[in-house]
């Protein structure tokens, strides 16, 4: 007698963890990409649904001009140097620009209650400006506020979920 479905265990999912000022791009449909604790940082996902190619970038700051040397060694730290690299890495795996679904989360007002630095707002503004310059649409986003966010991005289907403290995960 064949085993019932309770005995059939799917293989474990491969999880790619993206740290601060880092990114991951993959065409492995069995993987998910996750980044934790986005405060003022942005988490940006891109996905080609036909080829099942996607990536996630966790960036910190809007403009590399504040530290050009750092931009050379840590390009994923900045909107202006990290975002183009995210897109080019996906293109190198075969993603098509016209099919890319772009989502963004983060940009919260963290550890800056008086709004002196406004890093989150500046990150969001720089990202939106770059997307407009490149003629690309942002398909979904959840930015601002006062909460941190964790992003999980499923390469099998492009689903992106957000988890914030005290809330159940929800789709982006």
* pLDDT confidence bin for 32, thresholds 50/70/90: very high
At 117, is the pLDDT very low, low, confident or very high (cuts 50, 70, 90)?
confident
What's the average model confidence in pLDDT over 70-84? 97
- Name the catalytic one among 31, 41, 121, 126: 41
**73 catalytic residue (yes or no):** no
Report pLDDT for 36.
97
Query: Does residue 48 register a pLDDT over 90?
Result: yes
pLDDT of amino acid 110: 74
Percent share of the chain, pLDDT over 70: 90
User: Among 78, 28, 46, 62, which Cα is nearest to 151's?
Assistant: 46
Q: What is the CATH number of domain 14-171?
A: 3.30.1330.200
The pTM of this model reads: 0.91
The residues pairing with 23 across neighbouring beta strands, listed in sequence order, are 57
Task: State residue 109 phi and psi, 5-degree precision.
Answer: -95, 85
Q: What is the rounded distance in angstroms from the CA atom of residue 153 to the CA atom of residue 167? A: 18
Q: Where are the domains of the chain?
A: 14-171
pLDDT tens figures, 100-114: 999 999 999 876 666
């Amino acid at each position: 007698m064949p085993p019932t479905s309770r005995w059939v265990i799917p293989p474990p999912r491969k999880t790619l963890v993206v740290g601060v000022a880092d990114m991951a791009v993959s065409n492995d449909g069995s993987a998910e990409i996750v980044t934790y604790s986005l405060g003022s940082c942005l988490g940006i996902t891109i996905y080609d649904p036909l080829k099942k190619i996607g990536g996630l970038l966790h960036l910190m700051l809007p403009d590399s001009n504040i530290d050009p040397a750092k931009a050379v060694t840590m390009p994923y730290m900045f909107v202006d140097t990290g975002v183009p690299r995210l897109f080019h890495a996906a293109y190198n795996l075969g993603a098509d620009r016209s099919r890319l679904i772009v989502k963004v989360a983060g940009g919260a007002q963290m550890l800056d209650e008086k709004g002196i630095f406004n890093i989150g707002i500046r990150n969001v503004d720089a990202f939106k400006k770059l997307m407009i310059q490149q003629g690309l649409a942002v398909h979904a986003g959840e930015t601002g506020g006062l909460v941190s966010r964790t992003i999980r991005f499923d390469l099998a289907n492009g689903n992106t979920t957000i988890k914030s403290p005290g809330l159940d995960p929800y789709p982006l």
